Structure 1
Amino acid sequence: MMVRSGILLAALALGLAAGPALADVAAGDKCAAGLNANSKMIYDATKPRIKPGVTVADELKSVVRPMVMGGKLSRSDAQAAAEPAGKCLALING
């Protein structure tokens, strides 16, 4: 079931590939200000990992999976929260 969850998280974040440089941290933070608590937690935990050359989807998986395994988020909450967090992270990684 965890593999399926990981695949779903990756699918939600498809298209959020890394660009050559960080695009707009301020825009990402502004976007994140409107997130619900779970999405904001994911955004805050993933943001420091967003650097040139990384893929947002990979970083989301690396951050969210331990949150689920550690009981911070249920799988369904993580799935629902990862997509909006990923959209804000994509603004940073343009």
Structure 2
Amino acid sequence: MKFLGFLAIPFLFPAAAFADQKAADGCAAKLGRASAAIYAASAAQLSPGANLRDVVTSVTRGMVMSGDLGRAEARPAAEAAGACLSLLDK
């Protein structure tokens, strides 16, 4: 019986990762247009070990430089997107 319990342990980790993804996506659904765009672009670039702040800053800076995002709205939008993205990192 103890052996069967041991076999169940690996199945717990993907469920936890899925829960974080679900929570992050739920958070992102409440974001405004600019924040949602930053979230989508940053989530695509996130990888294990990546610095979340650096990724969001790079994406946001690129959007401002390309004219997709105004400078005044960049910081609040990035902070909101970062809050949702941080749920992926837990």
TM-score using structure 2 length: 0.76
The two structures, once aligned, show a CA RMSD in angstroms of 1.7
Q: Larger relative contact order (C-alpha < 8 A, sep ≥ 6)? A: 1
Q: 1:85 aligns with which of 56, 81, 90?
A: 81
- 1:48-72: CA deviation from partner (whole Å, max 9, x where unpaired): 1122101110000111111000100
- 1:63-90: CA deviation from partner (whole Å, max 9, x where unpaired): 1111000100111111110111000000
Larger radius of gyration: 2
Identify unmatched segments of 5+ residues in structure 1.
1-20
| Residue correspondences, number | 74
Instruction: Give secondary structure in 2 for the equivalent of 1:47.
Output: helix
Identical positions, percent: 46
**Does structure 1 residue 43 correspond to structure 2 residue 53?**
no
Aligned equivalent of 1:57? 53
**Which runs of structure 1 show a deviation greater than 2 angstroms over 4 or more consecutive aligned residues?**
none
**Cα pair 1:46 1:59 within 8 Å, conserved:** yes
AA partner of residue 69 (structure 1)? M
Aligned equivalent of 1:10? none
Identify unmatched segments of 5+ residues in structure 2.
1-16
Rounded to whole Å, the distance in 1 between the matches of 2:21 and 2:58 is 20
Rounded to whole Å, the distance in 1 between the matches of 2:30 and 2:47 is 23
